[in-house]
């Protein structure tokens, strides 16, 4: 079986595309969840933050995308994965132009390949929520942040010092599973706002560790910055600097919908061998 290795601003994914070097256009040829988890393991397998399954729709430019995190869980929404799906879909010739209508678990998303290696997604308002303040106790220390829905739940925590000092693995892990955020927990983002720039580090559910970028987290941090007037507003695009050093652009289109634009690249076509198992 052949897979595509993709990267969206440092978020890396493996992808199986229906009928594209992966096997016939038959759902039975799709990899199992167990295989996806095994292949996402770093060090002993190919390694990735998540796995994408792409299926062609009935019309050109219509693509169904299913995302699994590295642990096999199925997140509500993955925007960097969606942007990578656009890059791969257009490369495979699944669209007559650079516009792709992605059908996610939460509903359709309009996307476009801005140019090779750069894609944009437009997020419907119904996939978003308004920030709510939470104060969470961890080992006797209170941590104030904003919980906001961008597909799934995101806890945004302002870090006043250099983000290099942020305890992403320790405090991030504790907050991610905090009972005050519900049984499913939340993605946790340490953020610093400066002018029209957002600096971001993320601890992601499903990966259970820090990732080099988070698309939904970039929108969450921008929404909180807008609500708290740390940003001048999103009608004027802001830059989100990821842990991997990439810049993701967050803004609003003419109708007020949020957009996310940035790097999305094909890295390799991988032939999976027997040794890539668990």
Please tell me the distance from the alpha carbon of residue 126 to that of residue 247, in angstroms, as a whole number: 26
Reported as a single tens digit per residue, the pLDDT across 69-92 is 999 999 999 999 999 999 999 999
Please tell me the distance from the alpha carbon of residue 222 to that of residue 196, in angstroms, as a whole number: 10
Q: Is the pLDDT of residue 19 over 90?
A: no
Intervals of CATH 3.10.310.10 along the chain: 2-122+264-276, 127-256
Quick one: angle between helices 79-91 and 215-227, nearest 10?
130
Q: What is the pLDDT of residue 57?
A: 92
Overall fold of domain 2-122+264-276: Diaminopimelate Epimerase; Chain A, domain 1 (3.10.310)
Strand partners of residue 252: 258
Reported as a single tens digit per residue, the pLDDT across 23-72 is 444 445 799 999 999 999 999 999 999 999 999 999 999 999 999 999 99
How far is the first Cα of the chain from the last one, in angstroms, to the nearest whole number?
Answer: 16
Q: Is the pLDDT of residue 243 over 50?
A: yes
Reported as a single tens digit per residue, the pLDDT across 133-166 is 999 999 999 999 999 999 999 999 999 888 999 9
Please tell me the distance from the alpha carbon of residue 220 to that of residue 127, in angstroms, as a whole number: 12
**pLDDT band for position 18 (cuts 50, 70, 90):** very high
CA distances from 71 to 12, 32, 240, 243, 275 (A): 14, 13, 26, 21, 19
The β-bridge relationship of strands 197-204 and 247-252 is unpaired
Tokens of 16: 């199986």
Q: In CATH terms, is domain 127-256 a member of 3.40.50.10540?
A: no
Query: Catalytic residue positions?
Result: 78, 214
Please tell me the distance from the alpha carbon of residue 273 to that of residue 275, in angstroms, as a whole number: 5
How much is the mean pLDDT over the chain? 94
């Amino acid at each position: 079986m052949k897979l595509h290795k993709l990267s969206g601003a440092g978020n890396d994914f493996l992808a199986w595309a229906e009928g594209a070097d992966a096997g016939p256009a038959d759902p039975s040829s799709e990899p199992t969840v167990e295989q996806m988890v095994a292949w996402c393991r770093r060090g002993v397998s190919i390694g990735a933050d998540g796995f994408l399954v792409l299926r062609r729709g009935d019309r050109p430019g219509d693509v169904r995308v299913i995302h699994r995190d590295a642990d096999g869980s199925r997140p509500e929404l993955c925007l960097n994965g969606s942007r990578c799906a656009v890059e791969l879909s257009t490369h495979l010739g699944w669209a007559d132009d650079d516009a792709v209508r992605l059908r996610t678990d939460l509903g359709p998303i309009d996307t476009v390949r801005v140019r090779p290696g750069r894609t944009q997604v437009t997020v419907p308002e119904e996939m978003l929520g308004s920030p709510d303040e939470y104060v969470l106790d961890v080992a006797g220390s209170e941590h104030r942040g904003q919980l906001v829905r961008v597909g799934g739940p995101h806890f945004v925590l302002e870090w006043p010092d250099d983000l290099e000092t942020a305890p992403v693995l320790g405090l991030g892990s504790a907050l991610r599973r905090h009972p005050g955020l519900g049984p499913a927990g939340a993605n946790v983002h340490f953020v610093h706002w400066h002018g029209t720039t957002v600096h971001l580090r993320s601890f992601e559910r499903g990966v259970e560790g820090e990732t080099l970028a988070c698309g939904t987290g970039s929108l969450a941090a921008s929404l909180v910055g807008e609500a708290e007037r740390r940003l001048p507003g999103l009608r004027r695009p802001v830059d989100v600097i990821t842990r991997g050093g990439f810049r993701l652009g967050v803004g609003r289109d003419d109708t007020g919908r949020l957009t996310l634009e940035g790097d999305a690249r094909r890295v390799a076509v991988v032939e999976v061998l027997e040794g890539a198992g668990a």
